[in-house]
Structure 1
């Protein structure tokens, strides 16, 4: 049994296989997931697990250089956006329309679906390098 870090084998594997500029998505329970992208479904029930719990855990193991969110998050979920940007301190943040966001998910290595019911609780994380 793994002693530390992410215990979910699918998430751990995806992070370990990322190269520079590869992306993963952490999303709410409503984001459409393209059929060809690996789905890691963690959703148990409304609100479980929370988007922020998943994001904070992934950030402990993944080197992130850029993040992308939907512009609509500012209006629909400002408190979550503030919480998210605080844990992404030092990461370049880009804001695009939700429609553009959904298009970019087609290139992700994996999408981690949470039980979050907060609108636009979605982020694309782009892998950086540690050297």
Structure 2
């Protein structure tokens, strides 16, 4: 049995196979998922699991070089980072429409049960050396 926090085998494998610059998206329940990326659906019921919970565990496993969120997520929070968005890097921002276009380049899309509008983040894999 694994000793780290991430017990979901498919998500653990997806992170382990990311290369430098590959993108992993953690999205709310309403974020459209394009045909290309691998889809990992964790949504159980509205709100479960929350983006913040999934993000926290993914960040324990993944080296993140940069991150991207939608400008609208910050606008809904008076220009501040939303509470769900605890990252080791300062995220870049793009419009929600551009965010959705960027997801087409992702290697992995993780769907949560989050129901907060614009609670989506793109994580770009870094290197550990």
TM over 0.5: yes
- Tell whether 2:109 aligns with 1:111: yes
Matches within 5 A, 1:1-131: 1-77=1-77, 81-85=81-85, 87-89=86-88, 91-131=89-129
Deviations 1:60-119 (CA, angstroms, capped at 9, x unpaired): 01000100000000122559933244x213x14100000100000011111000000000
Structure 2 unaligned runs (5+)? Answer: none
Higher helix share: 1
Give the count of matched residue pairs: 129
CA distance in 2, matches of 1:42, 1:35: 17
Q: TM-score, normalised by structure 1?
A: 0.91
* Secondary structure in structure 1 of the residue aligned to 2:14: helix
The CA RMSD over aligned residues, in Å, is: 1.8
CA distance in 2, matches of 1:124, 1:9: 21
Matched-pair contact (CA < 8 Å) for 1:80–1:121: no
Q: TM-score, normalised by structure 2?
A: 0.92
Extract structure 1 runs of 4+ deviating beyond 3 A. 77-82
Cα 1:119/1:77, change in 2 over 3 Å = farther
Matched-pair contact (CA < 8 Å) for 1:77–1:120: no
CA distance in 1, matches of 2:80, 2:46: 16
